[in-house]
Amino acid sequence: MSILVFLIGLSIVVLIGAGVVLFWAVDHGQFDDMETPGLLPLADADAVVPPDQARAATPAHAAPDEAR
Amino acid sequence: MSGNGDGCWHCGEALPRDPPLAHVAGEAHPVCCPGCRAAAEWIAALGLADYYRLREHAAARPPDVDETARAAQAFSRPELARHLVHDRPDGSAETLVVVEGLRCAACSWLIEHGVGALPGVGQVAVNGSARRARITFDPARVALPAIVDAFARLGYRALPLDAAALDDARGREARTAMKRLAVAGFGAMQAMMYASALYFGALDDLDPVARELFRWLGFAVATPVVVYAGVPFFAGAWRLLRARRLGMDVPVALAIILIYAGSVVEVLRGTGEVYFESVSMFVFFLLIGRYLEMRARHRAGDLTDALARSVPQVALRLAADGSTTRVGAFELAPGDRVLVSAGMLVPADGVLESAACRVDESLLTGESTPVGKRTGDALCAGSSVVDAAAVVRVERTGADTVISSIVALAARAASERPRIAQAGERAAARFVARVLTLAALTALGWLVIDPSHAFTATVAVLVVSCPCAFALAAPAAVTRALSVLAARGVLVVRPDALEALAGATHVMFDKTGTLTEPWLEVDRVETGAGIARDEALALAAALARTSTHPVARAIATALPATTLAVLDATSEAGAGITGRVGERELRLGHAGFALRDPAARDATTYGDDAVVLADARGVVAVLHVRERIREGARAAVTSLRSAGLEVMLVSGDTTTKVAALAGALGIEAWRARVDPAGKLAWLDALRGEGARVVAVGDGINDAPILAGADVGVAMASGAAIAQTASDIVLARDDPRALASTHALAKRTLATLLVNQRWALVYNLTAVPLAALGFVPPWLAALGMSASSLVVVLNALRLGREPPIAPPVVPVPAQATP
């Protein structure tokens, strides 16, 4: 009987914990976009080059600044 | 799915004969235009070439970077920036943009990284389904024009929204709904677990202390479900009661309160049965239905965004001395003169002051052929000047413009539409009312016979008849139908539209863009003596390729493989194109232009739709251009008619064109030259005679009838405002999808009724037994679950029949005008 009370108490604590975590996640936008994050592991996002460096690397004929 | 073999590597459009090459990761890929090349190489230079590997759809054609950058300069004006940028307490700034060209998750990924890499930009949060992005940035290091520019270089057009839109009501609604659903789900699972302990304990003598414990535990988990997750039902019921109406929410809220209060009393008294699991499951099931409905509604976009996409935010104001200033469109006042360069949108309603030009009013009218305007003619905000820069004297701005008034007309038509009370809702409300009466009678009866049993028996009646199966009957069938339709490319925005569709009597089609393709095609070619058809067509196509006029485009696509080189091509607005092929001087255009004989234009020899190709010796060929009937239009009309619907055609186009199409499709009831108000009047007249009308359209001019009809159906390639005003969007632009949707709607309604009858039969058997006190709680719960299961399984049978239209490869469900 006492083990039952203990386990049920534990399950309620876990339940409340799960609820708190879920509320936090929802409030922090974790469920706002359900599609893009699925791509993250497939992409090599560390390779992002800051735009000023990227500008130097772009082939001359296409450098967007040239047109202005 | 990266670049395909025969199209542009970036946007997938047809390649020109000698395509530019984009150098990406050491490989050269053919692209269709310098814009695509710049975007592709910029994406690669940022280190984001993975985009091409991740995307599911080809990109939209990129906007002109320089033009966008020039226009974006206006965003740095303090008057405009105040409207578009929101300062946050911590010193950073925030702005919200509508992103045009956003097609799949890879686009969101690309934007988050590509724009986020800009120095000074903090967080970039892209909402793919709403096509919005929220950007936080440091105003000291980066300004709005640079951010808009960063979007443009990646190939997207970003339209900043008014700062008022930052108050994201939809985002909040979605988050709250998710929390309520989670609480109800967790609570229902736990309550069910404790309840099963009670049920099975009751079979083998549960320790009274443990029994007491489980009852209190049930109370503990069901309380947040009722008090927090159940709020939408109580709020809805309260709104209905204040409006003196009885909707679905009233009996639902009553049932929740009664079952919960009854169980609480039993817990406190320590006798009788508790039904915390029933009430939790009830709330959970109902919330699932509400949540799916909300998701569909949010996916449809909203009117603010649609308007922002249709009317430019900046204008080029002309001063008296001829100098120009970029100002926000809202700063314009009647009497101002604005310069609209070729290809740009007119920012306000006004009068043309400069020389004649051609104007594309397709956004407003749905007709794709540009209209010639002369000095003094009226221009509408949102139409685009095709061939030359125009000076416009502003007459009406903002909310007074034609486009705004059409949107307002749509909004009013939508609010005035008498909602047909949903059959499911009506039946459920009636049922719950009966159950409540029965519960009251049970209570009375037992009070007379044996007051100690009164309360227990009354609650048992409520629970056994727990409207779970009933509450599930409609949502299960409708949700199943919605997911089947979504897989077929039919997006149902308002779920009760299915029921309205099933009961429809008339279908009112718009012409252009709905039953016909929004572009033209070459119908017939008559050649002069001794000239082969293909040779003539090759010459015409070569010339036509140098112009963007819709007729020219139709001719160019008639023979895209032509390799003839055209020299000295010039096009004359409203007339035609001249150019040399080899030594031959060619003219393509209306008869008067091509033959250098003004009299020939009026001659009826060639007909309205004729385009003449001529050289120095005379006519080479006469090409007849016409609107192409959409594939499946005929099949759609036939199957809708065989389903017993009356099909009608209404259009703003000329009588001859409408009559021809009506004849070709076998439509007897048609009207031509009708403006939006006229369409709405016809619709109202039909409705007055008791007809239930489905309206199908694609232009802004259709928005009022789409919103006012019992069911509005829009084409995904049409105007955003038309889609916003509709209940159903056909993502594949295939009119046949409407016929199969109608068939499925009918079957859905039939399933729904079968489900409700089943639930009724179950309840008719179980309730009297419960009222007499014969049903033990575990049996009541078992019966309740079984009846719910039957209802769900029955709903799953929907959509197993093949659709009428053949399945096609999915295309992006949105339009990029």
| Confidence bin at B303 (pLDDT 50/70/90) | low
Burial of B6 (0-12, 13-18, 19+ CB in 10 A): exposed
Are B108 and A36 inside 8 Å of each other by CB?
yes
Spatial separation of the C-alpha atoms in residues B537 and B525, rounded to whole Å: 8
Q: For residues B208 and B231, is the Cβ–Cβ distance under 8 A?
A: no
Total length of chain B? 817
Whole-number pLDDT of residue B562: 64
User: How far apart, in Å, are the Cα atoms of B277 and each of B125, B193, B196?
Assistant: 39, 8, 9
Kindly state the average pLDDT of the residues B761-780: 70
Residues of A in contact with B45 (CB under 8 A): 49, 54-55, 57-58
Give mean pLDDT, residues B565-582: 75
Q: CB-based contacts of B167: which residues, under 8 Å, 6+ apart?
A: none
Distance from C-alpha of B272 to C-alpha of B485, rounded to nearest angstrom: 47
* Least confident interval from B39-48, B121-130, B292-301, B409-418: B409-418
Phi, psi of B623 (to 5 degrees): -110, 135
Inter-chain residue contact B125 with A27, CB threshold 8 Å: no
In this complex, which of B45, B66, B127 lies closest to A57 when CB atoms are compared? B45
The pLDDT value given to residue B93: 87
Given an 8 Å threshold on Cβ–Cβ distance, is A64 in contact with B153? yes
The predicted structure's pLDDT at residue B418:
42
Check whether B768 has a pLDDT greater than 80: no
% of chain B with per-residue pLDDT over 90: 6
Contact B535, B562 (CB under 8 A): no
pLDDT at B182 over 90: yes
pLDDT-derived band at B110, boundaries 50, 70, 90: confident
Active-site residue list of B: 510
B42: nearest CB among A42, A64, A67: A64
Say what percent of chain B tops pLDDT 70. Answer: 81
B27/chain A closest Cα distance in angstroms: 13
Has residue B471 got a pLDDT over 80?
no
d(CA A62, CA B583) in angstroms, rounded, equals 35
pLDDT number for residue B330: 75
User: Quick one: closest CA in A to B207, which residue?
Assistant: A1
Give the DSSP H or E segment for B586: strand B584-589
| Cβ–Cβ under 8 Å, residues B77 and B327 | yes
Examine the pLDDT at B446 and tell me if it is beyond 80: yes
CA dihedral angle for residue B556, residue B557, residue B558, residue B559, rounded to 10 degrees:
70
Q: Taking 50 as the threshold, does the pLDDT of residue B806 lie above it? A: no
pLDDT in tens, B202-261: 656 667 888 888 889 999 999 999 999 999 889 888 887 887 766 667 767 877 887 888
Neighbouring CB atoms inside 10 A of B533's CB total 12
- Categorize the per-residue pLDDT at B199 as very low, low, confident or very high, splitting at 50, 70 and 90: confident
- What is the H or E stretch that residue B478 is in? helix B468-487
Residues of A in contact with B153 (CB under 8 A): 64
What's the gap in Å between the CA of A30 and the closest CA on chain B? Answer: 10
Residues of B in contact with A11 (CB under 8 A): 190
In whole angstroms, give the CA distance from residue B305 to residue B371.
Answer: 27
For residue B694, the cross-strand partners are B507, B711
CA distance B226 to A58: 60
Minimal CA–CA distance to B460: which of B292, B275, B611? B275
- Out of B23, B117, B190, the one facing A51 most closely (by C-beta) is B117
Q: What is the pLDDT of residue B805?
A: 46
Cβ–Cβ of B109/A39 closer than 8 Å?
yes
> Between chains, do B105 and A5 touch, taking CB under 8 Å as contact?
no
Task: With cut-offs at 50, 70 and 90, classify the pLDDT of residue A62.
Answer: very low
- Euclidean distance between CA atoms B740 and B742, whole angstroms: 5
pLDDT given at position A47: 58
The beta-strand segments (E) located in B105-261 are 121-127, 132-137, 157-160
Identify the closest residue of chain B to A68 by CA–CA distance: B66
Long-range contacts of B541-547 (CB under 8 A, 24+ apart): B542/B566, B542/B579, B542/B581, B543/B569, B543/B577, B543/B579, B543/B581, B543/B586, B543/B588, B543/B613, B544/B577, B544/B588, B546/B571, B546/B577, B546/B579, B547/B571, B547/B577
Closest residue in A to B127 (Cα) is A33
Q: How far is B132 from chain A (nearest CA, A)?
A: 11
> Which of A11, A38, A58 is the closest to B45 by Cβ?
A58
User: How far off is chain B from A15, nearest CA to CA, in Å?
Assistant: 8
What is the distance in angstroms between the Cα of A27 and the nearest Cα belonging to chain B?
7
CA neighbours closer than 13 Å in the CB half-sphere of residue B673? 3
Residues in chain A: 68
Task: Kindly tell me the burial class for residue B635, based on how many C-beta atoms sit within 10 Å of its own C-beta (0-12, 13-18, 19 or more).
Answer: middle
Contact (CB, 8 A) for B63 and B148: no
Q: Work out the minimum CA distance from B30 to partner chain A, whole angstroms.
A: 14
The pLDDT tens digits of the residues spanning B53-104 come to: 888 777 877 877 777 777 777 777 777 777 778 888 888 888 888 888 777 7
Query: What is the rounded distance in angstroms from the CA atom of residue B686 to the CA atom of residue B770?
Result: 50
**B11-54 tens-digit pLDDT:** 877 777 778 888 877 788 888 888 888 888 888 888 888 888 88
Q: Where are the beta strands (DSSP E) in B310-420?
A: 314-318, 324-328, 337-340, 349-352, 357-360, 371-373, 378-379, 384-385, 390-396
For residues B269-290, give the mean pLDDT.
Answer: 80
pLDDT at residue B615, as a whole number: 80
Q: What is the ipTM of this complex?
A: 0.73
pLDDT digits 0-9 by tens, A5-58: 888 889 889 999 999 999 999 988 888 777 677 777 776 656 566 666 666 655
B556: tokens are: 């160019």
Give burial (CB, 10 Å; 0-12/13-18/19+) of B508: buried
* Residue B181 CA, distance from chain mean position: 25
What is the 3-state secondary structure of chain A?
CHHHHHHHHHHHHHHHHHHHHHHHHHHCCCCCCCCHHHHHHHCCHHHCCCHHHHHHHCCHHHCHHHHC
Residue B674 pLDDT grade (very low, low, confident, very high; cuts 50, 70, 90): confident
pLDDT of residue B595: 73
Sheet holding B357-360, edge to edge: B371-373, B357-360, B384-385
Give the list of residues 6+ apart from residue B794 with CB closer than 8 angstroms, or none: B476, B477, B751, B754, B755, B758
Confidence check: pLDDT of B416 > 80: no
Whole-number pLDDT of residue B209: 82
* B411-422 residues labelled b (16+ CB within 10 A) or e (exposed): bebbeebeeeeb
The reply to whether residue B106 touches residue A39, judged by beta carbons under 8 angstroms, is yes
CA B493 to chain centre: 7
Q: With an 8 Å Cβ cutoff, are A59 and B23 in contact?
A: yes
Give the per-residue pLDDT at A61.
47
Residue numbers in A near B217 (CB within 8 A): 8, 12
pLDDT mean over B740-767: 82
Which residues in chain A are contacts of B175 at CB distance < 8 A?
26-27, 31-32
Q: Which of B79-83, B174-178, B587-591 has the lowest mean pLDDT?
A: B79-83
pLDDT at B223: 94
Question: Do residues B219 and B274 lie in contact, with contact meaning Cβ atoms separated by under 8 Å?
Answer: yes
Distance CA B63, CA B816 (A): 11
* Chain A positions with Cβ closer than 8 Å to B: 1, 4-5, 8, 11-12, 15, 18-19, 22-23, 26-27, 29, 31-33, 35-36, 38-40, 42-45, 47-52, 54-55, 57-59, 62, 64, 67-68
* Among the listed residues B391, B409, B390, the one whose alpha carbon sits nearest the alpha carbon of residue B399: B409
Cα within 13 Å of Cα(B647), Cβ side = 26
What rounded mean pLDDT belongs to chain B? 78
Report the distance separating Cα B281 and Cα B319, nearest Å: 68
Round to the nearest angstrom and report the end-to-end CA distance of chain A: 80
* CA angle, residues B228, B229, B231, in degrees to nearest 5: 70
Chain A residues inside the 8 Å CB shell of B118: 51
Residues on chain B touching A4 (C-beta within 8 angstroms)? 210
pLDDT band at B602 (very low <50, low <70, confident <90, very high): low
Partner residue opposite B178 with nearest CB, options A15, A31, A64? A31
Long-range contacts from B566-569, C-beta under 8 angstroms, 24+ separation: B566/B542, B569/B543
Query: Whole-prediction pTM value?
Result: 0.59
Q: Closest-CA residue in chain A for B126?
A: A33
Mutate to test the interface with A, among B2, B36, B175 (most CBs of A within 10 A): B175
CB contact under 8 A, B179 and A22: yes
Q: Does the distance separating the beta carbons of A62 and B41 come in below 8 Å?
A: yes
Q: What is the pLDDT of residue B170?
A: 73
Of the given ranges (B227-241, B342-356, B514-528, B800-814), which has the lowest mean pLDDT? B800-814
